[in-house]
Amino acid sequence: MNPAGARTDAGGGAGATPRHVAIIMDGNGRWAGQRHLPRLAGHRAGVEAARRVVRAAGDHGIEVLTLYAFSSENWRRPAQEIADLMGLLRRFIKAELKQLVDAGVRLRVIGDHRMFEPDLVTLIDDAVAQTANNTGTTLVVALNYGSQDELVRVARAIAADAASGAVDPSAIDAAAIESRLDTAGLPPPDLVIRTSGEHRLSNFLMWQAAYAELLFVDTLWPDFDGDALAAAIQDYGRRTRRFGGL
């Protein structure tokens, strides 16, 4: 039996390309600070980096690209910065939706985005609906997402089902949990990249990334581009994934 989420057909090595790449986009503020610019300028540059990487992911044949855009902990930031981020998200959706549709990208959101303002929730839901039948790269955007919150929600759902008799507690297994995760139906990430030189997952896909390859790069997110993604894929291709085996 393979560990939960592990796939022996998706090992690295021999120039393999990861099916699912997940990125913790970090360093917008530092990028702006180094240039004596306001933090908003860094976030704007980060949006441009996201555009580049989405296009590059399709060029590399990556099936799923997950971007950590707004964490459940980001609400602790100053109100003005949160408002700026929400404004950038609105503009990104309005500006990029046609391109996503034309490129065959399917948009999916994980996390509780319904905590956002109603007009933004409607924009997000409409974008997801308009791309639902696309068959190209699946772009997963984590919005108001935190892995611990996700697992708490799953635990509550399973507990409610068990209390109602819909689920036998003795039958609860990894598959039962995975089917209730925000990422249900998606392959687990093969490669998790974090930019800006930090070395932590920051509450991101902690269940799903149990067997992912981790890559920490010093590049600040606004400077990340197609070449940086290609280098990350090459690094992945030199690794051997055993999933606990030999």
2 is in an annotated binding site: no
The answer to whether residue 232 is domain-embedded is yes
In 3-state terms, what secondary structure has residue 106? strand
The answer to whether residue 7 is domain-embedded is no
What is residue 6's predicted lDDT score, i.e. its pLDDT? 44
- DSSP letter for 68, please: E
Distance of CA 71 to the CA centre of its chain: 10
- DSSP letter for 23, please: E
The answer to whether residue 229 is domain-embedded is yes
- Rounded Cα–Cα distance for residues 211 and 244 (Å): 9
The answer to whether residue 4 is domain-embedded is no
The answer to whether residue 41 is domain-embedded is yes
Q: What is the CATH number of the domain that holds 229?
A: 3.40.1180.10
AA identity, residue 194? R
The answer to whether residue 245 is domain-embedded is no
The answer to whether residue 134 is domain-embedded is yes
pTM of the shown model: 0.92
Please report, for the chain, how many H helices and E strands are present, in that order.
7, 6
What is residue 14's predicted lDDT score, i.e. its pLDDT? 58
26 is in an annotated binding site: yes
How many structural domains are present in the chain?
Answer: 1
User: DSSP string spanning 194-205?
Assistant: E-TT-----SSS
What is residue 12's predicted lDDT score, i.e. its pLDDT? 58
Please give the structure tokens belonging to residue 193: 């990249």
Sheet holding 191-194, edge to edge: 106-110, 138-145, 64-71, 20-24, 191-194, 213-216
**Could you tell me the residue range of the domain that residue 37 belongs to?**
16-237
First to last CA, the chain: 14
Question: For each of the chain's 246 residues, which pLDDT tens digit applies?
Answer: 344 444 434 555 557 899 999 999 999 999 999 999 999 999 999 999 999 999 999 999 999 999 999 999 999 999 999 999 999 999 999 999 999 999 999 999 999 999 999 999 999 999 999 999 999 999 999 999 999 999 999 999 999 999 999 999 999 999 999 999 999 999 999 999 999 999 999 999 999 999 999 999 999 999 999 999 999 999 999 998 877 776
User: Which one is catalytic: 2, 9, 59, 74?
Assistant: 74
Task: Mark whether 74 is an active-site residue.
Answer: yes
207 is in an annotated binding site: no
User: Which one is catalytic: 26, 144, 182, 190?
Assistant: 26
Q: How far apart, in Å, are the Cα atoms of 35 and each of 38, 45, 197, 221?
A: 9, 12, 18, 14
Task: Mark whether 26 is an active-site residue.
Answer: yes
146 is in an annotated binding site: no
The answer to whether residue 95 is domain-embedded is yes
Please give the structure tokens belonging to residue 124: 């997000």
